[in-house]
Amino acid sequence: MHLRHLALISAAALLAACSNAADVSDKVSAKVGDTVASVAKPIGADLSELPAGTYKSEQGHAYVAFQYSHQDFSRPIIRWGTTDATIVFDADTPENSTLTVNLPVADVDTGVPAWDTHIKAADFFDAETYPEITFVSTNVDQIEDGYGKLTGDLTIKGVTRPFTLEGTINKVGKNFRSGVDMFGISATGTLKRSDFGVDKYTPMADVIDIMVEVEFQKSE
């Protein structure tokens, strides 16, 4: 066999091998992509088992907290001692459900008495002038899957801006003592405090991570 023929055969074999490898690579990439997508979007509890009605946050198991970077040395967590939240659940069309939340600024709890006083003062939340932080939902997306986005109007220090939470319905069931219908949610969101006029020392600690863990019980 001439060297020229041998070279042509070798080149053809190499191209075929590369083509097969590319096909395998594409299939593996697609599979990995599907897996990542499924992991990124968890499936929550089945809301079809939840009766329509008004649900109130159960204060013993209601946590709204925020976390920030303290000069990159640590990430403190601050929570509210009181969370007053109400969901009006539409069982036929879950995306028409509504959520309202009221957080008394006076109940913010840093775990440090001096910081409690300062964060409630005019430098930050100014509790005397603006005693409440409120959230009123405007759009619920994909709640029928037990997971999705909740967008609404968040008001801090008299400034109202759209804010989005992403969360999961953890469980739908009944309170094991009272038999009252209930469900629990976990949700997170991110905002810039300077957008709401809470801008002391910014740009340090401007990005705030919001964490929500609340159990709701039927009130009617």
Q: Please write the tens of the pLDDT for every residue from 133-154.
A: 999 999 987 666 788 899 999 9
Q: Please write the tens of the pLDDT for every residue from 54-83.
A: 999 999 999 999 999 999 999 999 999 899
Kindly indicate the confidence band of residue 218, based on its pLDDT and cuts at 50, 70 and 90.
very high
As to burial, measured by CB atoms within 10 angstroms (0-12 exposed, 13-18 middle, 19+ buried), residue 6 is: exposed
pLDDT of residue 26: 54
Q: Answer yes or no: is pLDDT of 28 > 90.
A: no
**Higher-pLDDT residue of 220, 113:** 113
Average pLDDT, the chain: 86
CATH class as words, domain 48-218: mainly beta
Q: Answer yes or no: is pLDDT of 13 > 50.
A: no
Q: Are 44 and 60 in contact (CB under 8 A)?
A: no
Q: Answer yes or no: is pLDDT of 9 > 60.
A: no
Q: Are 51 and 90 in contact (CB under 8 A)?
A: no
Kindly indicate the confidence band of residue 7, based on its pLDDT and cuts at 50, 70 and 90.
very low
Q: Please write the tens of the pLDDT for every residue from 167-199.
A: 999 999 999 999 999 999 999 999 999 999 999
Q: Are 105 and 133 in contact (CB under 8 A)?
A: yes
pLDDT of residue 35: 47
Residue ranges per structural domain of the chain: 1-40, 48-218
pLDDT of residue 41: 58
Of the chain, the percentage scoring pLDDT greater than 70 comes to: 79
**Higher-pLDDT residue of 79, 2:** 79
215 closest CA partner among 38, 90, 63: 63
